[in-house]
């Protein structure tokens, strides 16, 4: 249409010039050379041409106005079309981002399915969520509610792709808000949010926090933890981010619950249900590994075999319930005496217990065994309003001095135990 208007304007201008100029040139030349009286005709021709010129000038003005209107309409349509195209591209980019995000959620779900322990699961969850929202200035914190106290405790934390150690182990006021309200929290700018005191965001954990998003980890109607991200930059998170974080938290909550159940099942498989001590099979397996480690490091490993004296008589006199109470009491005292990191205690069978002590000489092992024997000897157990007493006999052997094989160490300690029983019980003997 615009090209047609331009051609019309060009044709009108050319015709106007031809009608106006060419007759004047011809009449002027003829009048000057032949007939001066012909100037009257020129005058009449000028009047005619002027009228014709006025007519074409108005026509030209109309066509010019139409052209301007058409041009404005064209530009408006072009702007609308450009805006629509831009919106379409924004929609396409948003869809692409969602495809990438949901692809990462799929990877998160697959990796969580391959994680069995709490430690492995929490590390996987924080690492993969950081891939979704990652930036070197973003900090991610995973809190889990402690089963004994019900308080929040940090299970995993990282800044960027590096693990960090934070001071606020039980969370700050943002985390307490989420725990209290059991709902997601988005603070785009902590400086402008009326719900929280911006000054505390600087001082409580020593970090500058300008934007926060946090969601509870839910199993049904029960919250088992909180997944939180914060940044030192304002307006870093928005509503679309928190929806994605909530989806990741749902996947993480299921994986954490499965890991907790898995660890409970493992504990049941390796611990005695009555005393809570390790079972013999697992104890001996660990003992073999510890002997190899001490051999590499050039240290010593002490092994104690402990037997309750006259326990059958005790059971016959007071009943098996009383015997269970005695076994639990002894197990608690063993844990109190030998429960340092690296050591291990087990219920070896019936009324027998076994202990290995990491990096411990024979002299030190005998000394500790004597301390435990005396402690048991003085421990009164009240049954049916009657104060009863028990004693123990202990055999001690040490790796590698008494043997390089696990069975040799056990046999030496067992022989020392029978030696103690032969001496009248309630004593300690070593191999």
- Which among 351, 352, 377, 411 is annotated as catalytic? 351
The closest of 390, 368, 394 to 379, measured between CA atoms, is 390
Q: What residues does 383 pair with on adjacent strands?
A: 386
CB atoms inside a 10 Å sphere around CB 422: 11
First and final C-alpha spacing in the chain = 112
- Torsion (CA) 81, 85, 90, 95 in degrees, nearest 10: 130
CA distance 200 to 172: 9
Helical axes 406-422 vs 280-297, angle rounded to 10°: 110
- Torsion (CA) 268, 270, 276, 277 in degrees, nearest 10: 180
User: Is residue 351 annotated as a catalytic residue, yes or no?
Assistant: yes
CA distance 11 to 33: 33
HSE-up of residue 353 (Cα within 13 Å, Cβ side): 31
The closest of 201, 210, 203 to 232, measured between CA atoms, is 210
- Which residues form the catalytic set? 351
């Amino acid at each position: 249409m615009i090209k047609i208007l331009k051609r019309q304007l060009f044709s009108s201008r050319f015709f106007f010039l031809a009608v106006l100029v060419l007759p004047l040139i011809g009449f002027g030349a003829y009048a000057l050379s032949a007939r001066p009286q012909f100037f009257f005709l020129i005058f009449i021709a000028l009047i005619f041409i002027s009228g014709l010129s006025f007519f074409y000038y108005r026509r030209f003005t109309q066509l010019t106005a139409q052209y301007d209107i058409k041009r404005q309409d064209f530009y408006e349509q072009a702007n609308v079309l450009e805006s629509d195209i831009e919106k379409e591209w924004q929609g396409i980019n948003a869809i692409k981002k969602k495809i990438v995000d949901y692809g990462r959620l799929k990877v998160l779900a697959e990796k969580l399915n391959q994680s069995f322990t709490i430690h492995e699961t929490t590390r996987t969850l924080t690492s993969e969520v950081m891939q979704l929202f990652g930036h070197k200035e973003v900090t991610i914190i995973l809190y889990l509610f402690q089963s004994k106290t019900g308080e929040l405790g940090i299970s995993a934390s990282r800044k960027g792709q590096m693990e960090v150690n934070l001071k606020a182990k039980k969370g700050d006021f943002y985390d307490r808000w989420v725990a209290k309200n059991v709902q997601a929290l988005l603070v785009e700018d902590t400086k402008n949010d009326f719900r929280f005191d911006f000054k505390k965001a600087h001082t409580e954990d020593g970090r500058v926090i300008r934007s926060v998003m946090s969601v509870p980890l839910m199993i049904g109607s029960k919250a088992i933890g909180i997944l939180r991200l914060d940044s030192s930059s304002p307006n870093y998170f928005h509503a679309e981010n928190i929806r994605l974080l909530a989806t990741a938290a749902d996947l993480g909550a299921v994986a954490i619950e499965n890991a907790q159940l898995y660890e409970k099942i493992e504990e049941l498989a390796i611990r005695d249900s009555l005393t809570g001590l390790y079972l013999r099979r697992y104890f001996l397996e660990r003992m073999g590994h510890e002997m190899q480690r001490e051999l590499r490091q050039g240290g010593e490993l002490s092994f104690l075999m402990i037997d309750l004296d006259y326990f059958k008589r005790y059971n016959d006199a007071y009943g098996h319930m009383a015997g269970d109470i005695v076994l639990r009491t002894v197990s608690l005292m063993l844990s109190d005496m030998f429960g340092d990191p690296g050591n291990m205690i087990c219920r070896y069978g019936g009324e027998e217990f076994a202990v290995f002590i990491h990096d411990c000489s024979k002299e030190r092992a005998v000394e500790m065994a004597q301390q435990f024997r005396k402690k048991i000897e003085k421990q009164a157990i009240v049954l049916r309003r009657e104060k009863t007493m028990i004693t123990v006999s202990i055999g001690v052997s040490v790796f590698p001095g008494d043997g390089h094989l696990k069975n040799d160490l056990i046999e030496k300690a067992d022989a020392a135990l029978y030696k103690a029983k032969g001496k009248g019980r309630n004593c300690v003997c070593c191999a």
